[in-house]
Amino acid sequence: MQSFKSKGLIAFISALLCVSLAFVFMVNRASAHKVSHDAETLKAFNDAFMEQVILGDELFHGATMEGINMSNTGMACAMCHPFSSDVHPHEYPKFQEQMSEFATLRDMINWCIEKPNEGEIIDPDGEAMKALEAYIYWSNRGSVLDPGRH
């Protein structure tokens, strides 16, 4: 009985710990999903996403941020891709004709920055790239996944 009791207590404490850790490290721990999400939490997740979408939208339409220079021609992404059309994020990864290689969306974003825009390529895992990706995916949401399509 004793051992059962103590096992039960340990389980109880671990559960408590898990719940509190889940709140503390909500976005960092795999255990985050062990509690249900209230509306406020979901809004916080969405706000974190939309913040990136809006930053990406600005960058895509010619804004800049410290440490990057995406264009030296006055060209912005949106000048060839209004509404981010003809970006086709849902078709990556694929063989990319311009690059003559198998490429991801991030590869292609950097190709456009370097070639048509004559800018400086950005960190493929950096803040600007993630924001651009967030905007492009958001703007194309509902498109049907079709990787590899030319």
Partner 1 sequence: MTDNKHDRDQVVGNVDITRRTFLHKSLLTGGAVATGSAVGVFQTLSSMEIASAAMSEPFSFAWVSDTHLYPRELNQRFIDKTVRAFSEVQAMGDKFDFMVFGGDLAQLGHPVEIELGAELLQEVTIPKHFIPGEHDWYLDLGESWNKHFGETPWTFDHKGVRIIGVDSVGRAPDYWSARGMSNEERMAHMSGLDGSQAGPWSGLGSEQRQWLSSTLSDWPKDAPVIIFSHTPFYEYFPPWNFWIRDWREVQEILAPWQNVTNIHGHVHQPLYNEIGGMRSIGMLATSWPWPYAPEGVPELTRPMLRVDPGDHFDGVGWGNLAMNAEAHMEVEYMMWREQVFGVGRADSGTGDNVNQKLSPRISDRGWTGD
Amino acid in the structure at residue 47:
D
> 90 vs 130, which CB is nearer to partner 1?
90
Residue 57 is a binding residue for partner 1 (CB under 8 A): yes
Cα 17 from Cα 44, distance rounded (Å): 23
Buried b (16+ CB within 10 A) or exposed e, 70-85: bbeeebbbbeebeebe
84 binds partner 1 (CB under 8 A): yes
Residues 50, 101: Cα–Cα separation, whole Å? 32
CA 78 to chain centroid: 19
Do 95 and 148 touch, CB atoms closer than 8 A? Answer: yes
Check residue 123 for interaction with partner 1 (CB under 8 A).
no
Q: CB of 65 within 8 A of CB of 59?
A: yes
Return the residue of 52, 70, 88, 92 that touches partner 1, per CB under 8 A: 88
Least separation in angstroms between residue 83's CB and partner 1 is 4
Residue 86 in the binding site for partner 1 (CB under 8 A) = yes
Task: Work out which of 1, 24, 30, 144 binds partner 1, going by CB under 8 A.
Answer: 144
Footprint on this chain of partner 1 (rule: CB under 8 A):
47, 50-51, 53-55, 57-58, 61, 73-75, 78-86, 88, 90-91, 97-98, 112, 115-116, 138-146, 149-150
